[in-house]
């Protein structure tokens, strides 16, 4: 049983953070906080923040630290986070990690574990460029590794499937570069705090079993 665990999912884009968040959420009462999903909703709703973020996201660049940290701070203060949460795609810089620590201290919460999905670049690029998701429920598929039963249609809700614009090969490469430059230092940051749980397996069932065992 995984409950009341405050988790960070760390790893390159396409390393499996979203996929394993969804698998855990199907089984355990955790709250999923994905800064990428929050930003995509802002873009869809045409807000000022969405407009500002869209230009950066299209190029594979990061949205400023204070903006994403503010979004996360607000979300973490909500009561449903008492059940535990998964931070997916945040923090992405050491500065964001420091801002997160401050925010958590203010509300009397702390991180229990940082799961690091360690996946090779070649597999990452293969996964990203073949990734498709449901426009209605957000379920993630992959044209090569996890195709939907019916082409272009979500197995879960029947919604239409689309490729994220930032999953093109060019932007995926840039996101990977941004990851190495900004996010990789967080591996040492959390390792020094004794919080890191590295996952080197890539086979879905094995990863899930390990997560359930280590996070229980």
Binding to ligand AMP (CB under 6 A) within 64-83 occurs at 68
Cα–Cα distance, 148 to 35 (Å, whole number): 25
Q: Binding of ligand AMP at residue 13 (CB under 6 A)?
A: yes
Q: Which long-range contacts (CB under 8 A, 24 or more apart) does 163-168 make?
A: 163/131, 163/132, 164/131, 164/133, 165/58, 166/57, 166/58, 166/60, 167/128, 167/129, 167/131, 168/129
Contact 24, 86 (CB under 8 A): yes
Nearer to ligand AMP by Cβ, of 124 and 154: the residue is 124
Which one, 46 or 151, has the nearer CB to ligand AMP? 46
- Of the listed pieces 61-69, 112-120, 130-138, 155-163, which binds ligand AMP according to CB under 6 A? 61-69
The secondary structure of 114-174 as a DSSP string is: EEEE---HHHHHHHHHTEEEETTT--EEETTTB--SBTTB-TTT-PBEE--GGGSHHHHHH
131 touching ligand AMP, by CB under 6 A: no
From the candidates 5, 75, 92, 127, which is the catalytic residue? 92
Backbone angles phi, psi at 31, to 5 degrees: -95, 135
CB of 57 to ligand AMP, least distance (A): 4
Q: Which is nearer to ligand AMP, 63 or 124 (CB)?
A: 63
Does residue 63 belong to the site contacting ligand AMP (CB under 6 A)?
yes
Between 85 and 90, CB nearer to ligand AMP: 90
Q: Is 20 in the site for ligand AMP (CB under 6 A)?
A: no
Tell me which residues in 175-194 interact with ligand AMP (CB under 6 A): 175
Which residues of this protein are in contact with ligand AMP, per CB under 6 A?
13, 35-36, 39, 56-57, 60-63, 68, 89-90, 92, 96, 166, 175
Residues tagged active-site: 17, 92, 131, 164, 175
């Amino acid at each position: 049983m995984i409950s009341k665990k405050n988790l960070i999912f760390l790893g390159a884009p396409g390393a499996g953070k979203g996929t394993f968040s969804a698998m855990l959420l199907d089984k355990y009462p955790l709250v999923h906080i994905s800064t990428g999903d929050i930003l995509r909703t802002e873009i869809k709703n045409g807000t000022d923040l969405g407009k500002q973020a869209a230009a950066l996201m299209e190029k594979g660049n990061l949205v400023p630290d204070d903006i994403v940290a503010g979004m996360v701070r607000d979300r973490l203060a909500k009561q449903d986070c008492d059940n535990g949460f998964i931070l997916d795609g945040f923090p992405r810089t050491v500065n964001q990690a420091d801002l997160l620590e401050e925010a958590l201290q203010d509300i009397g919460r702390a991180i229990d574990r940082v799961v690091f999905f360690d996946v090779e670049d070649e597999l990452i690029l293969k996964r990203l460029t073949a990734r498709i998701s449901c426009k209605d429920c957000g379920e993630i598929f992959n044209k090569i590794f996890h195709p939907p039963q019916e082409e272009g249609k979500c197995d879960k809700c029947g919604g239409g499937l689309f490729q994220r614009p930032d999953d093109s090969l060019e932007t995926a490469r840039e996101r990977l570069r941004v990851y190495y430059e900004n996010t990789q230092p967080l591996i040492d940051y959390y390792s020094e705090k004794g919080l890191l749980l590295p996952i080197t397996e890539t086979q879905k069932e094995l990863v899930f079993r390990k997560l359930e065992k280590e996070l229980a």
